[in-house]
Amino acid sequence: MLEPDPLPFPRLTRALLLLLAAATLAGCGVKYATVKTDKGEDLMLLGHDPVAYFTVGQPVRGYPEINATYNEVTYYFASEANRRLFLADPKKYEPQYGGFCADGAAYGVKLGSDPTEFAIYQGRLFLFGDVVGREFWKLRPAWDVEKGDLMWPEAGASGHISQSLYRLTFRVEWYKTGREIYAEWEAKNPGKKLTYDPGGVFQNLFLKYPGWRAREGYGQPALGIPGMDPCPPACPGQVSKGYGG
């Protein structure tokens, strides 16, 4: 989800300050929405099995001992059969846009990752930062994918902090604020409300790591990470329930 006007500065002052911060933090952050495990792995999907999204249509926690590395990041799998499927064609199963929110990806922003908020669209796996990002993306998935694909060569080359700072300052010409998109969502969903708290831009960029809300349970059930956090909830082989689940 994109949050409107994250810093209370006049636009030019804000741009200069964020440019300075981006220069200082050049390359800062992670290129993929990973968490560093106690074994030193750069773990994707908080340990969920990328193949299970396609085969059973649900986020299933993998087993730390059934793992594979692709593009320098690690995935866990719920079965050896799923691991073999992944290794045979990893591009088919890997999440798009490095596992970052597909709604933000359309703007070149790398914020948020929740393995329980996902969509399989045109044979590709898309993740969202939260339920709000998923609901916004559902308003115009073809447009989001077109813009996300356009921006990913740029966004994929940089760490999530420096890239998001850059594109929150120098916005793409098609940028819309969260308020604008929410107004569109309300118009298409009369009488309904989205009340999820995304945690704030500052916290998401500087104080926390991608996927922290889902792992720690900020406004939703805590998922944990298999092999690192207690079971329950972080039980390998189990289906994860997210916000509203």
Span 110-147, pLDDT tens digits = 999 999 999 999 999 999 999 999 999 999 999 999 99
Model pLDDT, residue 7: 36
Q: Is residue 229 part of a domain?
A: no
Q: Is residue 206 part of a domain?
A: yes
Q: Rounded to whole angstroms, how far apart are CA atoms 70 and 92?
A: 12
Q: Is residue 3 part of a domain?
A: no
Model pLDDT, residue 206: 87
Q: Are 194 and 132 in contact (CB under 8 A)?
A: yes
Model pLDDT, residue 3: 46
**Mean pLDDT across 44-61:** 98
**pLDDT over 90 for what percent of the chain?**
84
Instruction: State yes or no: pLDDT of 2 exceeds 60.
Output: no
For residue 197, give its domain range.
Answer: 11-216
Q: Is residue 39 part of a domain?
A: yes
The helix/strand/coil state of 46 is helix
Q: Is residue 237 part of a domain?
A: no
Question: DSSP E strands: which ranges in the chain?
Answer: 34-36, 42-44, 63-70, 73-77, 114-121, 124-128
Q: How many domains does the chain have?
A: 1
Model pLDDT, residue 15: 55
Amino acid type, 120: I
Model pLDDT, residue 27: 54
Q: Is residue 101 part of a domain?
A: yes
Burial class of residue 128, CB neighbours in 10 A (0-12, 13-18, 19+): buried
Q: Is residue 4 part of a domain?
A: no
Q: Is residue 223 part of a domain?
A: no
- Whole-structure pTM value: 0.90
